[in-house]
Structure 1
Amino acid sequence: MTARSPREAVNPQPPGAPATSAQPDARRWRALAVCLVAGFMTLLDVSIVNVALPTVRVGLHMSTSGLQWVLSGYALAFGLVLVPAGRLGDARSRRAVFLTGLALFTAASALAGAARSQEWLVLARLLQGAAGGVLVPQVSGFIQVLFQGAERGRAFGALGATVGLSTAVGPLLGGLLIQLFGPHDGWRWVFYVNLPIGVAALPIAYHLLPPPRPTAERAGHRDFDPVGVLLLGAGTVALLLPFVQQQQWHGAVRWLLLPLAAVLLAAFVLWEHHYARSREPLVSMALFTVRPYAAGVLLSLVYFAGFTAIFFIFTIYLQTGLHYAALTAGLAVTPFALGSGVSAMIGGRLVSRLGLLLVEFGLVLVLLGLLASAVVVQLWAGPAIGWATVLPLLVAGVGSGLVIAPNQTLTLQCVPVARAGSAGGVMQTAQRVGSAVGIAVVGSVFFARAAGPHPDWTLAFQLGVTVAAGLVLVALLVAVGESAASRRAAARSGP
């Protein structure tokens, strides 16, 4: 086994950061549990709605465009506010921002469940997405504040398990709720299920989460950089919109938004360099000069492009191609969820010893699982495919758990606590962008074979999985490249 690279040995508090000699908060694990419950609820709503769309269409007589906005509106609003919300938590009070996001998300869930029209539901989903984007970056910020050393790896392992489980369990839980409450109004409980969780979590979070640091400790970090917020927000929307609206916005005109996004994001980078000369920027560009952080964000972007798209095409393949019920389609992806949840917890404990080697091993397992599922579908195509894919999805899920949490730990451990929220927001924005691009790219390949009067659902799934596996392979190459760069840096620095 190779020695650990500098990426695993990076001091979580770089020079100039405040000392961390204070005693750990005795309530830190209970505080983390509250954060993870709230984070699970918001991330769950990315995937749980997929299986509810057929009943939503019938219940509200929605157009295809309206259904697309139920999905894409949430993703757009979520990605739009991640970085500004993370920065707001760094600059002001993470607890206050977290509680605000949780309260808004709970209220928006009630509005979505009570929707009486297409426009009502779309607006509620936009508010839900924005509230989720406010809440989620505070979780990684609290982990940076509350945990140190090996404990931080275990905490990020729990967060990684939450990310994996929320993504994979969504279709199962959505199908179960529709089964319990009926095809007409069952979709409403996909949103109402958040209400008791949110109401119970609010007072507990207020009691357990640490209050803001003294004003003196936040001196120099209170500027909010409104120009940076506008440039990043406009650039993010221009980048995401062509992908999340791909199925509804036909023609090549939408791709003109991509060069506009490039211009806006370049202007954002230039502005942040200028702003940082005298004030604290929305995103410190110095973060990207730290190779482990830059590599970790890139790996997240590419991996989520492949990983998230699998659930999208698999549930469509099962429900539309093989006529699975919503609950049965959800059960079919449960092996991935179980494997991911268990291995993320284990990965969080091993990352301090194995570092990037653990991430590389996880990516190899994901690749093997995805490619095996493509082969299995060819051999056992038919109604029993849900059983035939149990083992490949379990292997891929185990690998995914060894990627998400360890990569997040390694990426954020070199970030000062004062920038934990904005740095985590950037990483999560990369994940959202990756998810949108991956679903668009993999979905295009999938629908090219699944459309028309004689769709070939098996071939469509196989081609989609192959493209997703190619994206995972790129993530593996990023990890291998970072390992090699770390070894070269260690060799230059000497013993």
Structure 2
Amino acid sequence: MTAQPSRRIPDGPPPSASAVSGRAAARRWRALAVCLVAGFMTLLDVSIVNVALPTVRAGLHMSDSGLQWVLSGYALAFGLVLVPAGRLGDARSRRAVFLTGLALFTLASALAGAARNQDWLVLARLFQGAAGGVLVPQVSGFIQVLFQGAERGRAFGALGATVGLSTAVGPLLGGLLIHLFGPHDGWRWVFYVNLPIGVAALPLAYRLLPAPPPATARAGHRDFDPVGMLLLGSGTVAVLLPFVQEQQWHSAVRWLLLPLAAVLLVAFVGWERYYARGREPLVSMELFAVRPYAAGVTLSLVYFAGFTAIFFIFTLYLQTGLHYSALAAGVAVTPFALGSAVAAAVGGRLVGRLGRRLVLAGLLLVLLGLLTSALAVQQWPGQSVAWATALPLLVAGVGSGLVISPNQTLTLQQVPVARAGSAGGVLQTAQRVGSAVGIAVVGSVFFAHAQGPRPDWAWAFQLGVAVAAGLVLAALLVAVADVAAGWHGG
């Protein structure tokens, strides 16, 4: 008698469709968490260095020009690679590009923390900015791939909270690290803090982020458009350089870069239209024919010019004008960070129902908070400024949370997944250009009244806030025009 092969008795019924769906949903949110942690690191390094500059100067005996390049070099390199990196993720593998950017950013952070002289630190910051620009556009691309419908709004809400928190928490975290590790080498930990995060995130990202689709599914999206990259990169640098070097490059010759930038960007648009005849361009001009995308990019450009500059002048006012410590200056902007984080998460849930009207409400709150902050400084210009501005900054933070994440959702919601990386890169580039222009414009007004034999720091801050509020008002007008066009079927 032939022995029958044993048959394994199932341990139980097969998993239900709902259980499988639940596990898939949990995996999506874990993947998003890894993306947001990595994105937070790169965006944090835009603001965290501000409060560390006095100790960096003392530790490495840096010149004013060197300090400016520590800030502006990061912004330049970051903005330069955003769109090409987003396109590379679309064309090949978002996971591979994300992992590469994360590894390079972690390495660059180690090099920056170990810097022994000015040139070393400036080069490390350029490297760090480029690595951050490689990583960041993949995040919005992954959100487009992993989420749909209301879930996508919540995911972008989490991303918006990350953007707001990274901008506002930077001064607080930088001040805390300098307080803990001392004024001489505390600035090194502003960079070293990225190392354990990056090392932990790399294996998680490899395991959780989705692999690219088969090559056949990406056929037609593998062109890299080198001429387009060159024109856009040159145009971006020509726009950014006069603004990020505004405090060091005093010659009026620098403004000649702006008409050059206009020529380069017009040439870029013409080339992209030509290249799109049968090939996939770096940036499809068809995206700007979609009203929500065009309006959202424009709104981001103008809004980031206003809101980012506030932290720049506020920390300078507190530290240099009122002699706050780095930690105390960081604590003073915490109300904005808390308001922004909570409101961004809520905004991600409401944007599907309220659309651009939610952004309108957020912009009005930002305006109210900024103008009230200026009035508070006028009434209490002394050491109690941090307390006087706490509630107005909380209101502005709530408004900002209702602007950034809903605008990101509305801007990218109609973008094809195959173009999510490049579209997100354009949006991020608009934010970086806006930030650079805003800091230069608002900063020039601030410095005009905060320098000299008898500086008036409170008045300088109030004037800077007024200029920033004007930029936020311009963003409000863009949102109003978009809402009106939607009502009229535009």
The reply to whether TM is greater than 0.5 is yes
Map 1:147-296 → 2, pairs under 5 A: 147-296=147-296
Residue in structure 2 matched with residue 400 of structure 1 by the alignment: 400
CA distance in 2, matches of 1:118, 1:23: 53
Counterpart of 2:33, as a letter, is: A
Residue in structure 1 matched with residue 354 of structure 2 by the alignment: 354
CA distance in 1, matches of 2:375, 2:292: 35
CA distance in 2, matches of 1:446, 1:64: 18
Residue in structure 2 matched with residue 44 of structure 1 by the alignment: 44
**1:26-70 deviation per Cα after TM superposition (whole angstroms, max 9, x unaligned):** 410000000000000000000000000000000000000000000
Q: Does 1:33 align with 2:39?
A: no
Residue in structure 2 matched with residue 421 of structure 1 by the alignment: 421
Larger Rg: 2
CA distance in 2, matches of 1:23, 1:143: 18
Residue in structure 2 matched with residue 383 of structure 1 by the alignment: 383
Q: Does 1:145 align with 2:145?
A: yes
**1:73-123 deviation per Cα after TM superposition (whole angstroms, max 9, x unaligned):** 000000000000000000000000000000000000000000001000000
Map 1:459-470 → 2, pairs under 5 A: 459-470=459-470
SS across alignment from 1:220: coil
CA distance in 1, matches of 2:361, 2:270: 38
Residue in structure 2 matched with residue 472 of structure 1 by the alignment: 472
- The offset of 1:448, in angstroms, is 0.7
Equivalent residues, number = 469
Counterpart of 1:279, as a letter, is: R
- The offset of 1:262, in angstroms, is 0.5
- The offset of 1:278, in angstroms, is 1.7
Map 1:298-447 → 2, pairs under 5 A: 298-447=298-447
Counterpart of 1:400, as a letter, is: S
SS across alignment from 1:248: coil
The two structures, once aligned, show a CA RMSD in angstroms of 0.9
Structure 2 residues without counterparts, runs of 5 or longer: 1-19
Residue in structure 2 matched with residue 58 of structure 1 by the alignment: 58
SS across alignment from 2:277: coil
User: TM-score, structure 1 length as denominator?
Assistant: 0.94
- The offset of 1:292, in angstroms, is 1.0
User: TM-score, structure 2 length as denominator?
Assistant: 0.95
- The offset of 1:392, in angstroms, is 0.2
SS across alignment from 2:211: coil
Counterpart of 1:332, as a letter, is: A
CA distance in 2, matches of 1:292, 1:352: 14
CA distance in 2, matches of 1:57, 1:459: 27
- The offset of 1:251, in angstroms, is 1.9
- The offset of 1:23, in angstroms, is 6.9
- The offset of 1:338, in angstroms, is 0.3
Q: Does 1:70 align with 2:105?
A: no
CA distance in 2, matches of 1:361, 1:484: 15
Counterpart of 1:467, as a letter, is: V
Q: Does 1:106 align with 2:106?
A: yes
**Equivalent pairs: percent with the same residue?**
84
Counterpart of 1:210, as a letter, is: P
Counterpart of 1:343, as a letter, is: A
- The offset of 1:147, in angstroms, is 0.1
- The offset of 1:280, in angstroms, is 0.1
